Amino acid sequence: MPAAGGKRVPRAERERQMLDAAVAVFARRGFRAASMDEIAEAAGVSKPLVYLYLESKDALFTACIRREADALATAVRDAVEADAPPERQLWSGLLGFFEHTAAHPDGWAVLYTQARTVGEPFAAEVAGLRARIVDFVAGLLAAACGAPDTRTVAPYAYALVGAAESLAAWASTAPDPLPARDLAASLMTFAWKGLAQAV
């Protein structure tokens, strides 16, 4: 579909536009209530073009989940200060998580609220993201605590990730949420004191 002025929009850019629109619609309406007509209109394209690029509503929702999951995992990894002491690495990873979820509320809603509640196969996509982040956090915790391997700290990694998810969900709906830096500091203080005694 030609853009204004007769120029063709590159495929990657067109797909990004469609996914941006779909994430916003799915976040606001939910998977079942969202329609392909609504998504096409929000993207400024025809419904047949959406189907041409992404085949079905299920495929579109899956593509949204995967894109948002990859973006979140990348944000957490990139935020970690590689050469910093282990405690600082954990702190910077938490900060990256909260900054990303605050900056991308629709993507977070798709991952945390929509995909997990619709059922399979979408919940499995989010479970895969969670497993990746838990493994990464377990590595940070093992380094921070001097644990011999990640198995020792795996329960704490699951607890920390779960707490971060809950805080981000609360912050996304609270009338006056704490800034990302304060959320990270609160969770870091809570986790670090517990880890110091437990490991």
Note the pLDDT tens digit of each residue in 29-74: 999 999 999 999 999 998 898 888 888 999 999 999 999 999 999 9
Tokens of 43: 């993207």
DSSP state of 4: G
Question: What was the pLDDT predicted at 6?
Answer: 45
DSSP state of 8: B
- Domains in the chain: boundaries: 6-198
Nearest to 138 by CA among 148, 151, 127: 151
Evaluate whether the domain defined by 6-198 bears CATH number 1.10.357.10.
yes
Percent of the chain with pLDDT over 70: 93
Preceding peptide of 121 cis, ω within 30°: yes
DSSP assignment of 67-111, as one string?
Answer: HHHHHHHHHHHHHS-TTS-HHHHHHHHHHHHHHHHHH-HHHHHII
User: Which range, 104-113, 118-127, 143-152, is most confident?
Assistant: 104-113
Tokens of 37: 């007509």
